């Protein structure tokens, strides 16, 4: 089992420990803080909850975690040593001198520093070539970017080995080949931070308004396409050169306090346009737009699930639309036909490798239809909070035709049985007049305190009776009650 040693067990050190540990490495922690074990344990609790959810395959068996008071014992046999001590250059140099007296000369020593250059860290070291910057982003166990910054003292083979190890942890090592204070990403963050401070100081915006401007707009775009590719798309079919011709003069306008900008020359335009062509030129603009839209939908739907940021906005919009719909069977004019329980477009993230709706999403759609039917008969959120609900006992789905992203689907629901504690529903999914699938569900009403079946409220009984009477003349659906046939 490979061994990683973490020097400094704060937020970043704890994140590194979780990343290594949950990817099968043994992890040793050296930190004089008496609270280190508790702090790292709490970070690990969060990591164990979230990191495995990023993978569709099982992670390796978790490694062994140990805490050490002796530095030599902590680094013995370690392949990787990650330093995450406070941002004091004298402290970091002192730690490296102590480390290199006891560690394996072939071990990689990575620094989590967000600002110091590797050559500054290497000064006075016993083996300067052993030390590199590996700057992570919090939470280290989830975000993939590691700024791997090297100096002329580092052997290329040492850097390639570091890349291989980081990649094996599910990280994205971005090799920064030219040293600069604060590397790449934090320089962007610092520029935005400084401008934000001015906006607050000058009374232009509050901290809340600034955060909303980021998370409701360009922050989501940047998350999936970065800066230059986002602007390339904004340039339309003419690409980056057109975008720069349109918006380049704005660099001279007093839009920001940060007015020390490079001169907007033909050479700079050529340089950026050429690099942009190499980065994205193999995609047509419409392809880039579709890729962008797919990613934005996926991210914003994830935010909807958490009711956070842009997702909260979308949920409120859904609720406004839903509030105009019937809330109870008494508000539906015609109950003699199957009831409309779902009407929506198939989202982009519902499709599979074959290009049509994945199996689990049919169940998702039919489950939503069941939930809607429950609301209509009175088993709504308030009723459930009072202690009663329906549990699904059995489901059967038939796939009759293909369903693709963007298709506008409707589900219409026929109640086959609605008496006492039993509820038997038959859903039909359509695109226009085309029957795509059917879903059959048998449910039991339960007491949420005892978790045992029981009769529903008189109001729900009355609503089911009304539907049953209205739909009594409907023929029994084809396929209802069927099961998978045995091959003959």
Q: Is the dihedral of CA 413, 414, 417, 419 positive or negative?
A: positive
Whether pTM exceeds 0.95:
no
Residue 245 in any domain: the answer is yes
- Is 6:82 a contact under the CB 8 Å cutoff? yes
Domain identity same for 90 and 16:
yes
- Which pLDDT belongs to residue 256? 67
Query: What is the CB neighbour count within 10 angstroms for residue 157?
Result: 8
Structural domains counted in the chain: 3
Residues 213 and 126 in one domain: no
Rounded Cα–Cα distance for residues 31 and 9 (Å): 6
Q: What is the pLDDT of residue 95?
A: 96
Residue 136 lies in a domain: yes
- Average pLDDT (81-103) is 95
Query: In which element (H, E) is residue 155 found?
Result: none
481 in a domain, yes or no? no
CATH number at residue 450: 3.10.129.10
Residue 17 Cα to chain centre, angstroms: 21
- 317 vs 364, higher pLDDT: 364
Who contacts 31 (Cβ-Cβ below 8 Å, separation ≥6)? 6, 7, 8, 9, 10, 13, 67
* CA atoms 269, 272, 274, 280: torsion sign: negative
Instruction: Return d(Cα 214, Cα 201) in angstroms, integer.
Output: 18
Q: Are residues 394 and 252 in the same domain?
A: no
Out of 69-78, 250-259, 416-425, pick the least confident.
250-259
Residue at 404 is within a domain? yes
3-state helix/strand/coil string of 37-60:
HHHHHHHHHHHHHHHHHHCCCCCC
Return phi, psi of residue 302, to 5°: -65, -40
Residue 488 located in a structural domain: no
Tokens of 404: 């693709």
**Same structural domain for residues 167 and 212?**
no
Q: Judge if 11 and 80 occupy the same domain.
A: yes
pLDDT of 306: 85
Most confident option among 75-89, 219-233, 267-281: 75-89
Residue range 227-236: mean pLDDT, rounded: 84
Distance between CA 309 and CA 149 in Å, rounded?
33
pLDDT tier at 351 (50, 70, 90 boundaries)?
confident
Q: Are residues 35 and 171 in the same domain?
A: yes
The rounded distance, in Å, linking the Cα atoms of 140 and 27 is 15
Q: How far is CA 101 from the centre of its chain?
A: 42
- Find out whether 252 and 264 touch, Cβ atoms under 8 Å: yes
**Whole-angstrom Cα distance, residue 243 to residue 432?**
41
Residue 431 CA to residue 426 CA, distance in Å, equals 17
Which pLDDT tens digit goes with each residue over 167-215? 999 999 999 999 999 999 998 888 888 888 888 888 888 888 988 998 8
CA pair distance 142, 170, nearest whole angstrom: 9
pLDDT of residue 297 exceeding 80, the answer is no
Other CB atoms closer than 10 Å to residue 401's CB: what's the count? Answer: 12
Same domain for 37 and 160, yes or no, is yes
Query: Annotated binding site for NAD(+): which residue ranges?
Result: 8-13
Q: What is the CATH number of the domain that holds 103?
A: 3.40.50.720
Q: Are the C-beta atoms of residues 184 and 279 closer than 8 Å to each other? A: no
Tokens 């504690």 belong to residue: 421
Q: Ramachandran region of residue 122, left (φ > 0), alpha (ψ -120 to 50) or beta?
A: alpha
Separation CA 468–CA 470 (nearest Å): 6
Q: Based on the domain organization, do 257 and 337 belong to the same domain?
A: no
Residue percentage of the chain with pLDDT more than 70? 96
Neighbour count for residue 11 (Cβ, 10 Å): 14
Q: Do residues 118 and 227 share a domain?
A: no
The reply to whether 317 falls in a domain is no
> Which among 121, 156, 176 is the end of a domain?
176
Encoded tokens for 153: 């003292």
Question: Domain end: 176, 209, 224, which one?
Answer: 176
215: which DSSP letter?
A: I
102 in Cβ contact with 71 (< 8 Å)? yes
**pLDDT (average), residues 7-18:** 93
Q: DSSP state, 141?
A: T
Domain assignment present for residue 108? The answer is yes
DSSP H helical ranges for 377-476: 381-385, 458-470
Q: Using an 8 Å Cβ cutoff, are 154 and 182 in contact?
A: no
85 and 116 co-located in one domain: yes
Cβ-in-10-Å burial (0-12, 13-18, 19+) of 104 comes to middle
Measured in degrees and rounded to the nearest 5, phi and psi for residue 139 equal: -80, 130
Both tokens assigned to 82? 């990650």
Nearest-angstrom CA–CA distance, 213 and 202: 17
Least Cα distance to 382 among 328, 334, 322 occurs for 328
SS3 148: strand
Q: Is residue 297 part of a domain?
A: no
CB neighbourhood size of 391 (10 A): 11
The larger pLDDT score, comparing residue 26 to residue 349, is at 26
Are 8 and 157 within one domain?
Answer: yes
Enumerate the known binding-site residues. Answer: 8-13
Confidence of residue 321 (pLDDT cuts 50, 70, 90): confident
- Please say if the pLDDT value at position 246 is more than 80: no
Instruction: Give the pLDDT confidence score for residue 58 in this predicted structure.
Output: 73
Instruction: Count CB neighbours of 15 within 10 A.
Output: 27
Same domain for 387 and 458: yes
Q: Which domain holds residue 415?
A: 325-470
Average pLDDT of every residue of the chain: 90
| Contacts for 449-455: CB closer than 8 Å, 24+ residues apart | 449/387, 453/421, 454/388, 454/421, 455/420, 455/421
Q: What is the pLDDT of residue 335?
A: 96
CA 289 to chain centre: 20
Q: Is the pLDDT of residue 331 over 70?
A: yes
Region of residue 8 (left: phi > 0; alpha: psi -120 to 50; beta: else): left
94-120 pLDDT, tens per residue?
Answer: 999 999 999 999 999 999 999 999 999
């Amino acid at each position: 089992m490979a061994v990683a040693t973490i020097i400094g067990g704060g937020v970043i050190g704890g994140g590194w420990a979780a990343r290594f540990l949950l990817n099968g490495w043994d992890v040793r922690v050296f930190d004089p803080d008496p609270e280190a074990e508790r702090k790292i344990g709490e970070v690990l609790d969060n990591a164990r909850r979230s990191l495995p959810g990023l993978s569709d395959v099982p992670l390796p068996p978790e490694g062994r975690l140990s805490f050490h008071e002796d530095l030599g014992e902590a680094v013995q046999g370690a392949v990787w040593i990650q330093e995450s001590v406070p941002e004091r250059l004298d402290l970091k140099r002192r730690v490296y001198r102590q480390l290199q007296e006891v560690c394996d000369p072939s071990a990689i020593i990575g620094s989590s520093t967000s600002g110091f250059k590797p050559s500054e860290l290497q000064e006075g070291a016993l083996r300067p070539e052993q030390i590199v910057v590996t700057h992570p982003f919090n939470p280290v166990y989830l975000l993939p970017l590691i700024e791997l910054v090297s100096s002329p003292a580092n052997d290329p083979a040492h850097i390639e080995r570091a890349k291989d190890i980081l990649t094996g942890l599910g990280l994205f090592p971005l090799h920064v080949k030219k040293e600069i204070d604060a590397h790449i990403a934090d320089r962007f963050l610092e520029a935005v931070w400084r401008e934000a401070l001015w906006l607050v100081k000058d009374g232009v915006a509050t901290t809340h308004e600034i955060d909303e401007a980021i998370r409701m707009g360009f922050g989501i775009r940047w998350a999936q396409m970065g800066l230059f590719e986002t602007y390339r798309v904004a340039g339309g079919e003419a690409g980056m050169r057109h975008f720069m011709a349109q918006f380049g003069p704005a660099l001279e306008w007093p839009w920001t306090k940060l007015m020390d900008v490079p001169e907007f020359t033909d050479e700079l335009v050529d340089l950026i346009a050429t690099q942009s062509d190499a980065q994205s030129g193999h995609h047509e603009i419409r392809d880039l737009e579709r890729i962008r839209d797919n990613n934005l939908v996926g991210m914003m739907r994830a935010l909807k699930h958490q009711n956070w940021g842009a997702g909260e906005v979308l949920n409120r919009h859904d609720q406004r639309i839903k509030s105009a719909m019937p809330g109870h069977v008494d508000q539906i004019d015609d109950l003699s036909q199957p009831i409309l329980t779902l009407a929506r477009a198939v989202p982009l993230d519902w499709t599979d490798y074959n290009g049509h709706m994945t199996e689990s999403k049919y169940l998702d759609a039919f489950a939503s239809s069941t939930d809607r039917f429950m609301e209509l008969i009175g088993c709504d959120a308030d009723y459930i909070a009072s202690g009663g609900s329906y549990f699904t006992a059995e489901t059967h789905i038939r796939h009759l035709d293909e369903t693709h992203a963007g298709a506008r689907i409707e589900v219409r629901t026929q109640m086959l049985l609605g008496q006492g504690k039993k509820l038997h529903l038959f859903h039909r999914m359509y695109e226009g007049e085309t029957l795509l699938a059917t879903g059959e569900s048998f449910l039991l009403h339960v007491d949420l305190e005892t978790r045992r079946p029981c009769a529903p409220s008189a109001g729900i009984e009355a609503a089911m009776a009304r539907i049953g009477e209205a739909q009594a003349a409907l023929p029994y659906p084809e396929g209802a009650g069927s099961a998978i046939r045995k091959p003959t």
